[in-house]
């Protein structure tokens, strides 16, 4: 059995049979990894964790895009350009 700070790990068949229990665990803040033939295939996470992970991923992607854009345009120049139109 996993500690409170670790994800529970259950097989797909067991997850199907224990879905209500696993949902209660997610409501309590636990993550559940669902495996098939010993290989992790899905993760059930509390909704707050999923939202935070999505925001973190969006932030990483925006930084990656920003770093990939070259050039010397400054924010002030872009604002002034927008005012002309």
Token duo for residue 14: 């067991």
pLDDT at 82: 83
What digits encode the pLDDT tens for the residues 13-24? 999 999 999 999
- Hey, which residues does 9 pair with through a beta bridge? 33
Q: In what order do the strands lie in the sheet with 39-44?
A: 8-11, 32-36, 39-44
> Do 34 and 8 meet the contact criterion of CB atoms below 8 Å apart?
no
DSSP3 helix / strand / coil % (the chain, rounded to 5)? 55, 20, 25
What digits encode the pLDDT tens for the residues 14-67? 999 999 999 999 989 899 999 999 999 999 988 876 677 788 888 888 888 888
Domain ranges of the chain: 8-84
Question: Do the bridges between strand 32-36 and strand 8-11 make them parallel or antiparallel, or are there none, so unpaired?
Answer: parallel
Confidence of residue 10 (pLDDT cuts 50, 70, 90): very high
Class of domain 8-84: alpha beta
């Amino acid at each position: 059995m996993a500690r409170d700070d670790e994800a529970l790990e259950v097989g797909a068949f067991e997850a199907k049979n224990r879905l209500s229990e696993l949902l209660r665990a997610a409501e309590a803040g636990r993550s559940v990894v669902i495996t098939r033939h010993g290989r992790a295939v899905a993760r059930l996470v509390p909704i707050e964790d999923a939202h935070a992970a999505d925001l973190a991923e969006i932030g990483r992607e925006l930084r990656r895009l920003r770093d990939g854009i070259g050039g010397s345009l400054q924010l002030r120049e872009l604002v002034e350009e927008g005012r002309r139109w």
